[in-house]
Structure 1
Amino acid sequence: MYDPAHFLPSFVWRADRDGLVRYVNPWASRYLGIPAEQIIGRTWRDFVHPDDINSVLDAVRTMGDGSLLRNVDVRLLRGDRVFHWHTLHLQAQRDESGRIGDTVGVATDIHHCRHAWAMYEASERRLKAAFHGARMGAWEWDMKNREVRMTEQLAELYSFPPGTEAVALSDLWNRVAPEYREPFQQKVERALQCGGPFEFDFVLDNDTHPARWLRMRGHAEFDGQGELARVHGVTFDISRQRAAEDSLILSERRYRALVESTGALVWSAHPDGEIRPADEPWGKFTGANPVRLENWGWLDFVHPDDREVAREAWLDVLQKGTAGSITFRMRRYDGRYRMVQAHAAPLYDEHGTLQEWFGTTTDVTAQHEAQAAIEARSLRLNVAMQAAEIHIVALDVASWTLSFEVAGEPQERETLAYEAALSRVHPDDRPVLDRYVRELAAGGDPGAHFEFRVQSPGGEQWMEGSALLQRAADGKPLRLIASVVDITDRKRMELMLRETDRRKDEFLAMLAHELRNPLAPIRTAIALFEKQDGIDQRSAGLIKLMRRQTEHMTRIVDDLLEVSRITQGRIALQLEPLLVGTAVYHAVEAMAASVEARGQHMHVDVSDATAWVRGDATRISQILVNILNNASKYTPEKGNISISARADEQSVEIVTTDTGTGISAELLPKVFELFSQGERTLDRSSGGLGIGLSLVKKLVELHDGTITVQSEGEGRGTTVTVRLPRLHHHERHSAQVLSEPAASAKSTALRLLIVDDNRDAADSLAMLCELEGHSTRTAYSSVEAIEAAAQLRPDAALLDIGLPDIDGYELARRLRPKDETLPFLIAITGYGQAEDRLRAQSAGFDYHFVKPVNAEGLLKLLSSLTAQEPGSRTGDVAPQAADPDAMT
């Protein structure tokens, strides 16, 4: 017997009621580092972390509520005596007395994912703490919906109530002080029109004194049509900084007035004596460029007879490190020498270290204070750069050379030719970065941010940056200034999460396929029961119950596959003109039995029956049936459901409302997230996997539409609105025919060969076909099928694809040699994706059914085959009466 667990790359065991292990797969044996025969007979507690044993026991005890499936996270002991985290999927089996007997456990390694998630949460906490400590809040403006989403720090800055996450854009702007409101809006509009990053300050409208100043930094984002979509940015409190700057400015004004009244010039010097003269007063006094006075250049303006004395006196002051005065003659702008007195005073910090010299020769005190303020701002900027690990890069457009300033080391610079710097960039990123730089240097706007990888001895590093073009006074490009941050850790986390998401999609697809195989014989068996005569009312009710639950399980499997396909971008829509009214009525018809069974009332209102859209008929039906199924599922018996369709010039709106349980305010923003559900009850009466609305949203967006969900709260019903672009008359060329299938010709018996390694599936399908008068022969392997075909000479062969010896594709080629017309080849398989159908067609299959097979569709197909002449098949389209899945 084929054992799937033997090849499963997961820890699998089976234990009896006493906890003794009766089976382990090879993977578990390798993981534990113990031969399988030495594990058998030991208790599972030997391999589970002592702190997690009660969690497993609790999960087993709760299986008494009717469900025999439970999941629990535990740590399992590896062969190297290290515990690793796993998600343990437990499934119990009941014995003849109804008690829980054997328990099967399947453990999936989640150790690295759990570690990554812990790192992510820690990073989030640090980021929030940083925002809180910096009094900084982040925000996002949704310009299409005129809505602002914000962090809790931003809500606090604007004095919004605690817990506020989103407000209208007008509410945010109304918080600006009235006298600043109009300039604020004008600055925002200008910044958004430019498209680049922007920054400006404003005052909030409140009664606090002094006023609260905020600084906003943002960047606009445009959609594919060039329309403004959203704006991202941060806002932080600069009230203290503004107060300090105002105080400094006032102090500078007072000091400047005082110094100007004395007619003195001011200068400063490094501790080593290199002079830094202020610009304007020295220029007016000497008539020369003040740059010439820097360092020791001021000696050129000293009288030749005084030059050496002034130099030695200044060196003496420097050596003593105390205040001193020097008198000498200095040439004025008119060529005359004037006696001036220069007074120098050393400035020490709190540790007694000499920071600089301060002197007065002429009236430049105000300028000196301004220079000190600039240095203070530079220091703050450097501290911020060091904290954020930001690197500043400047590209001289004239020489195409770069200079680098390392964060925290402003004096350490590196100059490099542009081509040499570009050679350090990863080859795959080099063309994109080069195009970005050259476009920006030419005056273009390639965007505010860029990413690239750098090849270094320590490995590959991811960098993110933004750049601005600095122009000269004449408007010509002068240099590019960029800030670059190392984002390697964040990028590795993104790639790890992406890989985890890919594995999840693969698992969902595999799970859905594996679930199809046991559903196939169950669905066939139900069809056999339904065809029996003389069934009593109670048995008929039980059969209907089994059919409903099987169909529900099939829908869940299909939804799993759909989500996986859409996520991987593997769905291609077959777009054609569709009547919206017809699509609505077909969806209502599909849900009629379910709604009637629950005693619910459904109202349909299609006011414009001639409204058209361009869509995929199958997917549009899937959208509407999913929405109606949700409405019915969450609406109590005797409740009301309504669906209406309205149209305007631009779009068609389909609105579904119900009087059901509604959606809580906490869940409403998350209804479109995969596996998102409201509160689960123990009876699972509102069951499902939480993928319905996520799937519907993806399908609607594939049709260039939108979907919204509204609810006034729990117990107050739900409204789902789907908007699709309207298709006008002049755009329609063809429409799908939605009509009842034509009546099939009178059928005759066929000789059928049914091949499936699942005996239950093969035998039940044979019984179903025999009830219709067909002659059948079953085979459970490809070898048996070839022998049986030689004896039976079947009219049609129903083949499973995943056979253990020779797969169904090769078997099809052997059963019907090239240029032969019989037997008809029908694939019965759990593989139903587009590439599977194409592969079946190339192997010679005439029809393709996905497990669990729709019995009515299959029987109608067989009936239609009896009326076909050999060679009349098209090979790619099933009869109209057949199941839609029957197309290859």
Structure 2
Amino acid sequence: MNDPAHFLPSFVWRADRDGVVRYANPWTSRYLGIPALELVGMHWKTFVHPDDIDHVLDAVRQMRDGTLLGNVEVRLLRADGEYRWHVLHLQAERDANGRIGDTVGVATDIHEARHAWAMYEASERRLKAAFHGARMGAWEWDMKRRVVRMTSQLADLYGFPPGTDALALSDLENRVEPEYRALFQRKVDDALQHGGPFEFDFVLNGGSPSPRWLRMRGHAEYEHGTLAHVYGVTFDISKERAAEEQLSLSERRYRVLVESTGALVWSAEPNGDIRPAGEDWSRFTGDGAVRLADWGWLDYVHPDDREAARQGWVDVLQRRAPGSLMFRMRRHDGQYRMMHAQAAPLFDSHGKLQEWFGTTTDVTPQYEAQLAIEARNLRLSVAMQAARLNIVCFDLTSRTLSFEEGHAPRIDHVLSYDEALRNVHPDDRAMLEQYVCRLAEGHDPVANFEFRLQNAYGEQWMHGSALLQRGADGKPLRIIASVIDITQRKQLELMLRETDRRKDEFLAMLAHELRNPLAPLRTAIALLDKQPDTGSRPHELINLMRRQVEHMTRIVDDLLEVSRITQGRIVLQLEPVLVGTAVYHAVEAIAAMAEARHQQLHVSVCDPTTWVCGDITRISQIFVNILNNASKYTPENGHITVNVAADGEWVSIVTQDTGTGISAELLPKVFELFSQGERTLDRSDGGLGIGLSLVKKLVEMHNGTIAVHSEGPNLGTTVTVRLPRLHHHERHSAVALSEPAPGHARTALRVLVVDDNRDAADSLAMLCESEGHVARVAYSSAEALDAAPSFAPDVALLDIGLPDIDGYALARQLRRKGDAKPLLIAITGYGQTDDRLRAQSAGFDYHFVKPVNIDSLLKLLSSLMQGR
């Protein structure tokens, strides 16, 4: 089905002009519990609450007046028999005659939102009623600014004008009876010094003969050891007076309060008809009291608030209980002011309602201040969320943690200490718990703390600082901490460490790779110095040096190529190139390597005349590098295949091998510079780690793509290069690239030379023979172990990085414990202090770093011969 409504998780149906359902999406069928086939043909009134049907009809009628859209809140019957509130979006369609035809209804569930809002309003009403009924007011002292913030109830309790929400502490102290002010100040100072909750009573300077006692309860909070805020409530605890005296006193106090606050006083009949009292109403509205009487006051209410104000007053009348309303009312200057109306019913001794008495107060300053506070809190919340900052409070008594994001605490998210600790990474728990314990004991932890959380998103690094809050008695109450998510920063640190590690590995690899070709070169030069000019051996030595020089040249060239490409210094010499020719020449270049490893090469070119536009040297370099890698990582007797295919736009060159493959961890990083898999001491499966990085850059310079795929270790590797095909050909002959064939193995005698680098082994053996020693060569540990019993060498020159068994293990097997022969000499590219210590512990007698110092080695062999 192509209809998008079919997949919407919302209530969607289409009804015709008569209200008969013609289509309903699967969500509607599931919600109603009615199969889709049965639902078609039913009237939409079947699943709409009876009391809401008229609302839907009204919305439809309004659409017929011109608009084709309408919204209405209705209750829809769910499959379990419960009606849930939805916002119904209606859209009508006109038929060919311009009349309203089908109507589409899309309903969104708002049941929980309505329920939550109702609970919130009820909670607000209960809170206001509780404060009003208890004659209690709440307050906050800002000790830094010496400012008091208070609720309207507290302002009323102290006798401050309506709208007073902040004033100086000195103004509050001035409200205390003069003879009690010194005692009041002393009690306040004593309570604040100890912190925590406090409570004391004092006498308010009410200006009346009888003292008026108030009780103050509060709690002080400190920031970094400095008193910052004090929170609390104050309520009246005066003793009861004689009924007549109390009534008279209350009346006078009320009149003074009303006159000082400027509230608009009014009364009303039991049926709700308003009777404005005094001239305050006329001064506020600019009109006579006659226009305000009965229900005329609604004409001065803002049009957007008028219906809510009317309905609110009706609800108060029906409840026959005290109530309040908030609405905007037009002042004489045309401005709308936020007004707070309060009403209380007056009953006679028989419980009969006599009249209503109330006041309406301009609370615009408080309302605007509240909006400013909410806006500030919103900004604070956004800032904390942007900084990923959380406030954590650890109650030491209940050992529970509560969390705060932004300006509001997450009351629904409280964890026990043990439960929260289980979310911490096991390696960090002991450290974090030690930090918390030291802080709870009153010690200064000095530094901040860091730890990792384990959650559904993986590891999450957190950084925080904390302080201890004490009670009035000095005992620890809670630990308050600010915690910031630093996962991204930690990941960058780990990346930098990994980059540094790879740099160090690269330098070690570079030293090893450059030493390997230098070793046989130095040996060959020493032999040339000892040989006469006749014979074939000098020619053989020259070829050996040529091969090693070319080896080193390739290493240096690769390094220089990467540097040039990175710096943008390579310019391609573009011309038409036959892909098949370039591939065959690359195969020819690595044929000697493949033949030495007994590998089978298979090449398939679909069309020998397939052309691309490129730099012949760079394209050949691409294929040689790929085939060189394939041969290097494919074991002996393995298979390497190259397939060239083309379509109208692209030429694909796919190289597959049956080699060691690539692990899932390394596969995403194969094109990174200096990136390699796990390496062994022999370095036979390694290099500098720049080959594929260089190839990728060259392919991209030709507007092509390269991809590497492997099923895993020992499952082979596939490299796919795609280059744009060239259709307008120009004849061009490819340049042949070839590698020199590796040297042939030589026999070995009394000096056993073991090295998987044939040139290095052969040249070293020839050097020994030139000095009159009998030499025998082994190119692997297995060959050395087979030859040793019959050969009985006096000296063994061992390479450390051997492919099967490394030189350390081979040394232990060649000379058993307690034997003196053979003398073990390490010949290796690893020359760090740790490498020498490891060689010594394996039983080696001497340690030479490639390229070997020929004079030192020959002197050592000579001294050994003299000592025999």
TM range (shorter): 0.3 to 0.5
CA radius of gyration, larger in:
2
TM-score w.r.t. length of structure 2:
0.35
